[in-house]
């Protein structure tokens, strides 16, 4: 009977961990330098799977061709996005970005849209010259976004909240 109790405790712990990783929180590893200088290759982040409210400049993880990509949300549904001379314009209003980086001129019309449709997002890597993002792969459907992240687990020197 004592052995059965011990086994049930371990089974409960295993089920709890599986449920947490499946529905709430899970680690995710950054692959590549597309989010540099904010994030680097092999950084380990804490992904919030329960967060389905995507805000401008928030970092999201999504699935693209069987890979998990980490990018920053720039455009929300209803927005018109364009870059002119390294400046972001949303609905023709100049916006100051969280990360100041060189970005080639771009207009959402290049993707065939006047505005971002409901249920889609425009995402970019912080390292704009070395990022496969919405400029190449198009708008990201909300259904492909796994969750948001704003916390670094590893390397320990970067442990904590991400801006």
Q: Counting every residue, how long is the chain?
A: 163
Is 71 part of the annotated catalytic residue set?
A: yes
Is 36 part of the annotated catalytic residue set?
A: no
| Cα angle 123-127-131, degrees, rounded to a multiple of 5 | 60
R_g of the chain computed on alpha carbons? 19
Give the residues across from 47 on adjacent strands. Answer: 26, 149
C-alpha distances in Å from residue 96, one per residue of 51, 52, 80, 100, 156? 25, 24, 16, 8, 30
70: preceding bond cis by omega (within 30 degrees): no
Which member of 48, 71, 131, 152 is catalytic?
A: 71
- Which ranges in 31-110 belong to alpha helices (H)? none
Which member of 34, 36, 131, 134 is catalytic?
A: 34
Catalytic residues, by residue number, are 34, 71
């Amino acid at each position: 009977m004592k052995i059965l109790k011990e086994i049930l405790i371990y089974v409960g712990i295993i089920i709890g961990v599986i449920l947490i990783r499946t529905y709430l929180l899970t680690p995710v590893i950054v692959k590549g330098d597309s989010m540099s200088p904010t994030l680097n290759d092999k950084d380990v982040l804490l992904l919030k799977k329960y967060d389905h409210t995507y805000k401008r400049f928030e970092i999201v993880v999504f699935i693209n061709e069987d890979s998990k990509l980490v990018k920053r949300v720039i455009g929300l549904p209803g927005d018109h996005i364009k870059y002119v001379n390294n400046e972001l314009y949303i609905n023709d209003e100049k916006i100051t970005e969280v990360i100041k980086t060189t970005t080639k001129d771009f207009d959402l019309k290049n993707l065939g849209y006047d505005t971002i449709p409901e249920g889609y997002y425009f995402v970019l890597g912080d390292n704009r010259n070395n990022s496969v993002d919405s400029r190449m792969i198009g708008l990201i459907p909300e259904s492909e976004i796994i969750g948001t992240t704003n916390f670094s687990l590893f390397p320990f020197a970067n442990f904590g909240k991400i801006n």
